[in-house]
Amino acid sequence: MIIEVEFDTFRQYIECENDICENIVELREEFLEWLYDETIDHQYWNYLDGIKAGVGFSADALVEWFNTVKYSERTTKVVLLDAKFMEPNLVNASIFF
């Protein structure tokens, strides 16, 4: 399954098994809860005077979350595709950040 991950100014694509990404909209919300949870130290935090002040991320953060948090026990992983554009007929779903 190919998911288009859309941001304000660019798009990225991830590939995952159907059973992993079939509920991508709900998973997006769960990912955002993890991403903005101030008790979790991840590399996507931006700091201002040593205080967590926001996050900066792209689809690689979503891929990391899938592979190391949500589905860490799985051997089949979600991958970030190296594509700037994907034919619409190849995309199975999309999410927006």
Domain boundary assignment for the chain: 2-96
Task: Give the model's pLDDT for residue 76.
Answer: 86
Residues 77 and 64: beta-carbon distance below 8 Å? no
Task: Give the model's pLDDT for residue 4.
Answer: 97
Task: Give the model's pLDDT for residue 38.
Answer: 96
Q: Is the pLDDT of residue 29 over 90?
A: yes
Length of the chain, in residues:
97
pTM value is 0.91
**Sign of the four-CA dihedral 62, 63, 66, 72:** negative
